[in-house]
Every structure is written in structure tokens, then in C-alpha cells.
Amino acid sequence: MPQIFLTGATGYIGGEILHTLQQSHPEYDVTALIRDQEKANKVTAAFPKIRVVLADLDNVDIIEEESRKANVVIHAASNKHIASVKAIAKGLEGRSDGHYIQVTGASVLAGPEVDSNSYGEPSDKIFDDLDNVEDLRSIIRAYKDRRVVDNYILDLGSSGPKTAIIFPPIIFGAGKGPVNQRSIQIPSLARSALQQHAGLYLNKGLSRWGVIHVSDLASLFVKLTEHAVNATQVPIWNENGLFFAENGFESFKDIAGLIAKEAHSLGYIESPDSVKSINVEEANTVIPGGVVFLGTNGQGQALRARKLVGWQPEGVPFPKAVRETIVAEAARL
């Protein structure tokens, strides 16, 4: 049976990956790295077949050992913890059937705007991960200090395990994992809109990111896992293993307008047109690091997954998910 080693099973992304793996491939043997016994109990209650290893990302010997046993390692716990990444690579070293899938983020595309302190401005630059993948590689290489994990994996080359890096944009929708089922950007914007009675956007609000339902993101991880298990001969690993995941693009001003419209229709705010611009300091109170997550452009087109992996986004439409998120955040206030 294929052996899958998963980190981040109690998180928003990792929990959805675990759910999708169990639904799609109950025959896979899945081991989950979990640092907390209470959370581990929730995972095993939901998915009794899962084997749990109690450890955290600093337990690199355990991570190396579990990676050595696996056909596929999915690292969904962190895109910054370099010691665990090195342990995975070491565990898979010399394995012709070893595959490693790493989550990171579309904020890699925001480097130039962060450098120029330019937020909320539009951009006509749309990256893609197939025909112009070299542009993506170049921007990763340009920010070696900020994107340590991404660069380390690229540096492994063909001498290491077969690798893939996934760059999610704004992830939305309620997760089906056993612990954390809440994303960050849209719930934070919805919560702030309910508190301030207006949809919020940074500066002009004209910057855009891709959007993806969490179930569609998890589906991409599972599709790649299937390709790994079946040893398909398509260019989706190592230097070709860079994947965006999106189901369209949205400007933050349009998102603010959608939140205001839906919040009004639900009776939470007075006007469907109630939107307002906030400054950099205010954005950082909406979300930690909000200046990047709400003010930059993260426009990465997911061509490789659609054309080579057989992936198509089919999750809940963005407006419906935004409405559901507003209801959920109102219940939390």
C-alpha cells in the first residue's frame, strides 16, 4: 500500500488534505505528525485508520525516519521551518520512488511591491506556472532570504527526491478537517466589516490575488499524490514542480464590495455600498502582516495543474462562500 506522511493534519490546509485523501483513497496508509495529544485524539476520532506520530517540527530525527518510510511526504504544516524540510529531504535521499510536496504561498509574487512600499495598486503582471514558469523561478531566486524553503527545495534538483511546491493564493471556504476549519483573509475581512459596518480595502484596493476554495486546493495535493503513487511520466516534479492554484482573481476593493453587499442582505450592516479604504497600520490590525496579504498582487495562473495533472476547481463559488463566512463570523462575535 502507498505510504503517505503528512504534516499539518490539524491545520486548515492539512486537515482538508487529510479529509480528501481519506475520501478519495482509503487504501492509502497515512501517517500524521501531530504535536498535541488532544488534537491527535480529534484526528483519530474522525479518521480511525490514521497512524499518529506525536512530535513537532523540531523533532527532526522523527521526521527523517517517517519520511524514509513514505512514498509521498506532504508538508502542510509550515513553509518557513527549514530544519523539518531538510529532514524530509534527508529521509527521502536516494529513493527513486520518493516524492515530496510542499505548501508555500503566492505572497512570493509580492516581493517587488514590498520593496517599493507600494500597496493597493493594480498590476498587469500575471505569472503562470507552465509557459512562463521561468518568471516564477526567477522571483523565488531573487528573494533567497525571504523564501528560504522554496530556494532549498529548488536547489535539491534532480539529485534529491521528486519535489513539488504549491503556491496557494487567498484560500476560502469552511474546511472539513478535524481541528482548524477556518481560513485567514476572508474571515478577518468579514469580521472587521461586521465590526466597522463597512467592507474594507487597503489604499486604492486595486491589487488582486487569486482565490481558491480549500477543497480545490486539497484536491491538487491529492492529484499530485496520485501521480506520485502511479509514477506517471509527466513534467510535474523538481524544476517543473511549481504550481499555482486558483479559480480566478479578485481585487480587494471588489472583495470589500461583495462583503458589504452580502452583510447588508443578511441584515448586519445598513448599506450594500458601505465600503471604505484603510491605511497600512489599520490593515495590519485586520490581519497580522495585512499590508502584504491585503495590499499586494498575487496573480499566479494555474496552468500546469489544469493541463498536466487533470485538476479542475469545483468547490463552492466565491460569493456563496463569502456569505457563509459572514454568517460564521457573526456567530463568533
153 is a domain residue: yes
Instruction: Work out the pLDDT band at 259, boundaries 50, 70, 90.
Output: very high
Cα(first)–Cα(last) distance of the chain, in Å? 46
143 Cα distance to chain centroid:
19
pLDDT digits (tens, 9 = 90+) for 180-227: 999 999 999 999 999 999 999 999 999 999 999 999 999 999 999 999
CA distances from 242 to 133, 152, 167, 191, 224 (A): 8, 13, 8, 33, 11
User: In sequence order, what are the beta bridge partners of 86?
Assistant: none
Q: What is the CA radius of gyration of the chain?
A: 20
116 is a domain residue: yes
pLDDT attached to residue 295:
95
pLDDT digits (tens, 9 = 90+) for 104-116: 999 999 999 999 9
Domain count of the chain?
Answer: 1
Please tell me the distance from the alpha carbon of residue 215 to that of residue 245, in angstroms, as a whole number.
Answer: 11
pLDDT attached to residue 158:
78
pLDDT attached to residue 289:
87
Please tell me the distance from the alpha carbon of residue 102 to that of residue 168, in angstroms, as a whole number.
Answer: 11
| Domain residue limits at 129 | 3-328
Q: Is the pLDDT of residue 157 over 90?
A: no
Q: Tell me how many degrees the CA angle 54-56-57 measures, rounded to the nearest 5.
A: 140
pLDDT digits (tens, 9 = 90+) for 52-93: 999 999 999 999 999 999 999 999 999 999 999 999 999 999
64 is a domain residue: yes
146 is a domain residue: yes
Instruction: Work out the pLDDT band at 102, boundaries 50, 70, 90.
Output: very high
pLDDT digits (tens, 9 = 90+) for 285-298: 999 989 999 999 99
Asked whether 111 and 146 are in contact (CB, 8 A), the reply is yes
Sign of CA dihedral 4, 170, 297, 302: positive
Q: What is the CATH number of the domain that holds 175?
A: 3.40.50.720
